[in-house]
Amino acid sequence: MTTTIYNVAYPNPSLDPLDRLCRCRVGSETDWMDLLSQLYDDYPKHTEDLKRATLWKAIDLKLEKADVYNVSTQKVYDWIHNKDEGAMLPRGDPLVEYFPDGPHDQSLEQVDIVVVTPEIVKAMERGVAGELRYIMARERMSRIIKRAPSPSKGVKSTAAVMETVCGPGGPRYGRPSDRFGPPTALFSGPLAFLKYDLEHLESFAPDRVTLNSAFELVAIATDFFDEEGKREEALKPILQELLAGKNQPTADNAPKPDGVWFEGPFACLITQLKDDPGHGGDPFLQGLLVYGKTITQEEYTPYLKQSNVPVILLAIAGNRLVVSTAVFTDAIYADKLLSTRLQFGFYASDNVLHVARVFMAINGSMRRLRDLYKDLVGVPCPSPPRAVLWPNPTADPPEFTEILPKLEFFCKVNHIDGAELPVIDEDNEQHAMYLARMEIETSTQVVFVKFAVKYHEDAHRLLANQDSPLAPALYFCARVIGDMYMVVMEYITKSRGQSIDPYSSIDGSPPPQPVPAVVRRDVCKGLDLLHERDLVFGDLRETNLLYLAEDGGRVLFVDFDGVGRDGMDRYSPCLDPAAGLGVARGQVMEKAHDRRNLERLMERLSS
């Protein structure tokens, strides 16, 4: 029996890029069933979905295999969306009837048949192609991290630290000043609980065993040793007593930290020990680099689309203990949560009790990490794999988490114009502003979600609740762990409104020209409402005002981070002098400042 080979595109987003193209060898008489049978064999985890598949004859659909992940997937989705209904291949009909001249030249990446399943249709509806670009960028970052120098070399000198940290795969932990991101607590429940527990240590009552081990840890940490190895040898059994589970050896080709506690293939906690601060490098940074090398090991590969692999880092240098956390989203981000001295002295009892409580908090978080990783092992990658990149906030206090709205995050926005970001670039790593889908009344809507250290909810609601709103609708505002407010508001699309800053557009398209009279009318009304309640807006400039051309034009206030009380609150000590607000860092806020900044704004609009 003669056989025919067809190029088949199966654009399921949970598959690796090159697995979305296959060549099916079919018989001339039973070709339909042969093709389905081969698909079942090639994609055994997708059999049930493939049983409901439809096949479509592809016309003018050529893919570049090397670029299939971020471009061709979108090409296929566009083709499916615009397909001719007459191109469907009826189930059971011989394929040869629809390919009388045979399939395309096999040397080309020209698709003959497109497989469409319910899962693919759902993925298209959710805008998965854009999310795949994020995943692709994350995998590229993983390869960069893998090529970095070893952790010990990365901390051996100032020059080595600079090269490691400032390189493209370097961790984001606040050094240098622009290498940071949102708190790790926003992305992991276990890490959020650790931060919360470390801030509420008084709730822990250590048992006698934990207190004895904490005492021994302090005694060893305050002592001096001739060699660093002797200190490590003395500390490791005490840490084994204090930390739940067992310190396990790493694989032969894996980095060798001073201690690592695993759950399956996943590192829950990594320890790094130094004889004294500055001797042999920073143990926190070395532990963070070990984490980076660990997550690029082959054992982690199947799970990088399913988890942001949270970890606890424990660093001891002399008698200094540092507790940190890290996650891997688009890059590695880390936070130092606690730094304390291990010492006796006049306050020995309090110090030992404090250390015991710290390890109880760590163990609580480790248990949560173990549960997380136990649930992960062996679970198929979700379609689409999105949770690895986006926040998963925990309410502050945690028992209020159920009140948080159910949000399906799907992208970050550009800090300049609020537009969707195709990938997260360095200019947008620092902020925490996202788009998400949320059920509002009876429909799913796209909302703007912002995590802010300060936010004046009352001021926002005051302006948003006017008959003619002066701010986007505010759906939710509450504290979350990470010392942040989670603010969920109406998303004003770029087609509806843009910043009145003429330089706010990054794509070259000019924003709508604001009518000065409309700007003055709405801004004056908004300031009057705030000032009647002795509130100062505090940051009145173009970037914080949206101009909507609809209904003859109107203006919305969009940033309430800087609102404060007249004559009482102060401007930020990090205020940017280039903002042109006419005030100094730390200056007391006054209503008159808003009025003067309104006049400056009007002068700029009129020039």
Q: What is the pTM of this model?
A: 0.83
pLDDT of res. 505: 44
pLDDT score of 229: 82
Tokens of 5: 């080979």
Give the C-alpha separation, 447 to 434, whole Å. Answer: 8
Q: State the Cα–Cα distance between residues 23 and 474, nearest whole angstrom.
A: 51
Scan for tokens 């705030």, then name that residue: 530
Q: Give 77's contacts (C-beta < 8 A, 6+ positions apart).
A: 11, 124, 128, 129
DSSP 8-state class, residue 47: H
The whole-number pLDDT of residue 64 equals 66
pLDDT of amino acid 495: 67
The DSSP code for 72 is: I
C-beta neighbour count of 530 within 10 angstroms: 25
- 3-state SS, residue 363: helix
User: What was the pLDDT predicted at 124?
Assistant: 74
Q: For the chain, give percent helix, strand, coil, nearest 5.
A: 40, 20, 40
Residue 46: per-residue pLDDT = 87
Q: What is the DSSP letter of 69?
A: I
Residues of the chain with pLDDT > 70, as a percent, come to 90
Tokens representing 393 are 């906030």
Could you tell me the two tokens for 182? 């949102």
pLDDT value for 507:
45
Mean pLDDT value across the chain: 88
Instruction: For domain 398-606, give the CATH superfamily.
Output: Transferase(Phosphotransferase) domain 1 (1.10.510.10)
In the sheet with 266-274, reading across from the earlier edge strand, the strands are 259-263, 266-274, 311-317, 320-328, 332-341
Look up residue 278 and give its two tokens: 């500055």
Q: Please report, rounded to a whole number, the percentage of residues in the chain having pLDDT higher than 90.
A: 56
Q: How far apart are CA 206 and CA 399, in angstroms?
A: 23
In sequence order, the 6+-apart residues with CB closer than 8 A to the CB of 471 are 460, 463, 464, 526, 556, 557, 558, 560
Cα 140 to Cα 133, 143, 392, distances in angstroms: 11, 5, 23
| Spatial distance between the Cα atoms of 488 and 244, rounded to a whole number of angstroms | 38
Q: What is the pLDDT, as a whole number, of residue 590?
A: 98
Q: Say how far apart CA 114 and CA 509 lie, in whole Å.
A: 36
Amino acid at position 185, single letter: A
How large is the angle between the packed helices 73-81 and 128-146, nearest 10 degrees?
170
C-alpha 485/C-alpha 451 separation (Å) is 5
Four-point Cα dihedral 421, 427, 429, 431, nearest 10: -90
pLDDT digits (tens, 9 = 90+) for 455-512: 999 999 999 999 999 999 999 999 999 999 999 999 998 767 666 664 444 444 555 6
Structure-block tokens of residue 168: 């493209």
Query: In this predicted structure, what is the pLDDT of residue 87?
Result: 87
3-state secondary structure 123-160: HHHCCHHHHHHHHHHHHHHHHHHHCCCCHHHHCCCHHH
pLDDT, tens digit, for every residue of 39-68? 999 888 888 889 889 999 987 787 765 544
Per-run averaged pLDDT (10 residues), the chain, 607 residues: 81 74 76 84 87 87 59 73 84 83 72 87 66 75 90 91 92 94 97 98 96 97 86 92 83 80 93 85 94 90 87 96 97 97 95 98 97 82 68 95 91 84 85 93 91 97 97 97 97 75 49 83 98 97 90 91 97 91 96 97 89
